[in-house]
Amino acid sequence: MVKYKLATPVEFDGKVYEELEFPRPKGKHLKSIPGDPCLGDVMKVAMKICNVPNKVFEEMDGYDYSQVGDILNDFLSVCPKTSRKSLPQ
């Protein structure tokens, strides 16, 4: 699990979010990521595993948003790569 302290806390629905926790993603979280993911693809996984409302990510400062993307990219960089584009027929 990786913990990230937000540089700029986010207030949403009466709660202030100062730190996010990211457990290691599971296959069910990663299976929808394309072979060459963009930041939006990576952030969808972050939203699924972080267990906070998606609105927190939408209101997040740009710096924090980028840092969270880096955290998820670190998880993805240890995933095995394959050249197979689709399942065999």
pLDDT along the chain (89 residues), means of 10: 95 96 86 75 86 93 92 70 44
| 17 located within any domain | yes
Residue 67 lies in a domain: yes
What pLDDT does 78 receive? 52
**pLDDT at position 69:** 87
Range of the domain at 50: 2-77
State the Cα–Cα distance between residues 73 and 82, nearest whole angstrom. 17
Residue 87 domain-assigned? no
The answer to whether position 7 is within a domain reads: yes
Q: What is the pTM of this model?
A: 0.74
Domain total for the chain? 1
Buried b (16+ CB within 10 A) or exposed e, 31-44: eebeeebeeeebbb
How confident is the model at residue 65, as a pLDDT? 93
In the three-class reduction of DSSP (H, G, I as helix; E, B as strand; rest coil), residue 70 is classed as helix
pLDDT for residue 9: 98
Assigned domain for 82 exists: no
Query: Is position 31 within any domain?
Result: yes
